Amino acid sequence: MVLSVGSAHAASFPFTDGAGKLDTKIWYVANGWANGEHQSCEWRAEAITFTETVARLRLSDQGGKVRPLGCAEMHTTTLHGYGTYRARLKTAAGSGLNTAFFTYVGPAVHGGEHSEIDFEFLGKNPRTVQLNFFDKGVSQGEKLIDLGFDASADFHDYSFVWAPDR
């Protein structure tokens, strides 16, 4: 998966610090742990490479201490609110793969109740996107959308608007 800087404020969210290194004041990269028993990959920092405006996230057969596969996860270190969120993605294809971009607030990371807006591309069918919204830990209605194209065949732009009333 390749991710372009993903918010309405893209100019203020470069991936690198100007010297070619990840700007850790803005970005956190998961490394050396897994997200529950349902997942067979371990987050690996080396699964992500950066330029100023592009992050390339890879899946590999090089796992680590807790899982046999290596995968990538990153997020901002600060909370963001209402606005337009954008990502330019070429998704992964294959059973068991999930390419996603989403907002998240919850007890494990920020305290408080779980709230989330999801764009998830399930690799078993790269012609669809699964959308979901959680408010106070409750799904507000998952939707599976037929894209009319193969999201893994090329790069495509995706976005959503988060506003106080929608």
R_g of the chain computed on alpha carbons: 16
37 given a catalytic annotation: no
The dihedral sign for the CA sequence 28, 32, 37, 38: positive
**The one catalytic residue among 46, 52, 113, 120:** 120
Contact 24, 45 (CB under 8 A): no
* Residue 94: other Cβ atoms inside 10 A: 11
26: left (phi over 0), alpha (psi -120 to 50) or beta: alpha
Residue 46: phi and psi, rounded to 5, are -70, -5
Q: Find the catalytic residue in 42, 46, 73, 116.
A: 116
CA atoms of 43 and 25, how far apart (whole Å): 20
Tell me, yes or no, if 116 is annotated catalytic. yes
Residues marked active site are found at: 116, 120
